[in-house]
Amino acid sequence: MKTVVVIEDQTAIREMLAEFIRMTPGYDIIDMFGDGQVGLDRCLEIQPDIVVLDVGLPGLNGIEVLRQLTARIPSVKVLIFSGKGSPSNIRELLSAGAQSYVDKMDGFQEFKKGLEIISAGGTFIGPKMASAMRTLIRNPESGRSGGTLSNRERQILQLVAESFSTREIAARLSLSVRTVDNHRTNIMRKLNLHNVAALTRYAIKHELVESFA
């Protein structure tokens, strides 16, 4: 019996995924989370066999969750189930160690196929990711973002765009306020952006956070 954790911020989709997995023989849902940082912390504690992971998550986006999961739990299988299959996201996911991707538009049968293949140790690339990968091969620059940020800087940029204050970010990441301030200064310098509104627009454009427009 494979143990599964679902990290998905939309409650209805999270519950539907959990119910679908429960009805699939050989899998046991052991927890569900709507926040990337909370989900990551719990996965590091309970070490599930499989994590079903969205990309667009509050607290810590799915790309950073994936990067830390693959680094800290090498045995875990991660199935990306997301609607954010832009070339830039695909590039980041591949860099973070993604071995599977199912687009939310592909449906549950494609999801089931991906789940079965990765649980057996294989790699599964759905049609949307395959198309984005072909785009990257034809035009390698298409998936590059405007600036080169470190993993920590991307994490802080997301939290800034989610309206967390410097002190809240420091507490959430166990950093000093001065360290967070230094990271914000570096982010603005690298991206040539000079206020929170511009940083937020950048984060939305590059799908680090959701647009509420």
Tell me the per-residue pLDDT of 134-151, one tens digit each, with 9 for 90 and over.
Answer: 776 676 655 555 457 887
The set of residues, in sequence order, having a beta carbon less than 8 Å from that of 61 and lying 6+ positions away, is 36, 55, 154, 158, 208, 209
Give the per-residue pLDDT at 213. 42
pLDDT tens for residues 100-133?
899 888 888 889 999 999 999 999 887 777 776 6
Domains of the chain from N-terminus onward:
2-141 (3.40.50.2300), 151-205 (1.10.10.10)
Compute the distance between CA of residue 163 and CA of residue 51 in angstroms, rounded to an integer. Answer: 28
Q: pLDDT grade, residue 49 (50/70/90)?
A: very high
Give the per-residue pLDDT at 144. 55
Average pLDDT over residues 13-39: 94
User: Which range has the top average pLDDT, 8-22, 117-131, 154-168?
Assistant: 8-22
Residue 51 has pLDDT above 90, yes or no: yes
User: Which range has the top average pLDDT, 84-93, 102-111, 175-184?
Assistant: 175-184
Q: How far apart are the first and last CA of the chain?
A: 42
List the one residue out of 101, 119, 106, 99 whose CA is nearest residue 25: 119
